[in-house]
């Protein structure tokens, strides 16, 4: 009888338990021993998959990034108004980042960012580069002469991310509000096109 699925299941158990632990207790406080206990695995099993907490955080990020790829679903349409397309993109991104697990991820990242560790910057850049769906939309909009070609697609994506974070995500993350409004989505779209669009 094959036991191949069991190790993967244990690894998932560790990742899911760790998301809860890090979100509720921060990154520094939990020990590898306490993570093993909460994940209901032996220390040996935990160290088999993750030699330290940084390795565990890497896998948590990849797990949630993979979740993100499955929910973003849009393509550039030359026959549709760019503003309308952009509203749809921002709406999908907003719905994704408001998932409870993603808010927890953000709190993990924020706690690490406050330490000023260079490792975090590398992780954030890696996350940004995985947004293939949005990058493809930007590239096609550039080829259609709808967005500036003076900047690389990744720079434009970074700018869009900063707008979404500033207007929508961070206020929710810090408890200033509970959800995004249509007016805020339209505002982000307008600011983006004002800076990166071509008339």
- The string of pLDDT tens digits covering residues 7-22 is 457 898 899 898 888 8
Does the predicted TM-score (pTM) go above 0.85? no
The whole-angstrom separation of Cα 118 and Cα 125 is: 11
**Helix/strand/coil for 147:** strand
Q: Are 197 and 147 in contact (CB under 8 A)?
A: yes
The whole-angstrom separation of Cα 48 and Cα 52 is: 10
Comparing 175 with 36, which gets the higher pLDDT?
36
The whole-angstrom separation of Cα 59 and Cα 81 is: 39
Count of helix runs (H) and strand runs (E) in the chain: 11, 0
Which pLDDT band, with edges at 50, 70 and 90, does 111 fall under? low
Please name every residue paired with 77 in a beta bridge, in sequence order, or none if there are none: none
Share of residues in the chain with pLDDT > 70 (%): 76
CATH (one of 1.20.1260.10, 3.40.50.300, 3.90.480.20, 1.10.357.10) for 74-196: 1.10.357.10
Place of tokens 């929910």: 71
Comparing 143 with 64, which gets the higher pLDDT?
143
What is the average per-residue pLDDT within 89-107? 76
Please provide the distance, in angstroms rounded to a whole number, between the alpha carbons at the two ends of the chain: 65
Q: Tell me which range, 112-116, 168-172, 191-195, is most confidently predicted by mean pLDDT.
A: 191-195
What is the model's pLDDT at position 4?
Answer: 46
Whether the predicted pLDDT of 62 surpasses 80: no
Q: Are 168 and 94 in contact (CB under 8 A)?
A: yes
Whole-Å CA distances, 98 to 69, 77, 163: 15, 26, 16
What is the model's pLDDT at position 64?
Answer: 72
Whole-Å CA distances, 117 to 29, 53, 144, 172: 17, 14, 40, 24
Instruction: Output helix, strand, coil percentages for the chain, rounded to the nearest 5.
Output: 70, 0, 25
What is the average per-residue pLDDT within 64-76? 74
Place of tokens 């993750």: 50
The whole-angstrom separation of Cα 183 and Cα 93 is: 15
pLDDT digits (tens, 9 = 90+) for 113-163: 666 555 555 655 555 556 788 889 999 999 999 999 999 998 999 899 889
- What is the rounded (10 degree) CA torsion for 34, 40, 45, 48? -60
């Amino acid at each position: 009888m094959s036991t191949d699925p069991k190790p993967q299941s244990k690894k998932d158990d560790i990742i899911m338990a760790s998301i809860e632990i890090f979100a509720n207790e921060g990154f520094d406080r939990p020990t590898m021993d306490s993570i093993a206990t909460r994940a209901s695995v032996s220390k040996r099993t935990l160290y088999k998959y993750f030699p330290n907490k940084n390795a565990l955080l890497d896998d948590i990020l990849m797990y949630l990034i993979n979740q993100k790829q499955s929910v973003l679903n849009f393509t550039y349409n030359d026959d549709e108004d760019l503003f309308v397309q952009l509203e749809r993109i921002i709406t999908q991104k907003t719905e994704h980042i408001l998932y409870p697990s993603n808010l927890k991820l953000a709190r993990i990242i924020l706690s690490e960012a406050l330490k000023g560790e260079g490792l975090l910057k590398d992780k954030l850049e890696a996350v940004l580069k995985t947004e293939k769906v949005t990058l493809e939309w930007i590239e096609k909009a550039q080829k259609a002469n709808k967005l500036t070609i003076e900047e690389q697609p990744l720079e434009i994506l970074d700018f869009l991310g900063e707008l979404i974070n500033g207007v929508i995500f961070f206020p929710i993350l810090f408890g200033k509000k509970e959800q995004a409004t249509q007016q805020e989505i339209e505002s982000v779209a307008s600011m983006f096109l004002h800076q990166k669009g071509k008339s």
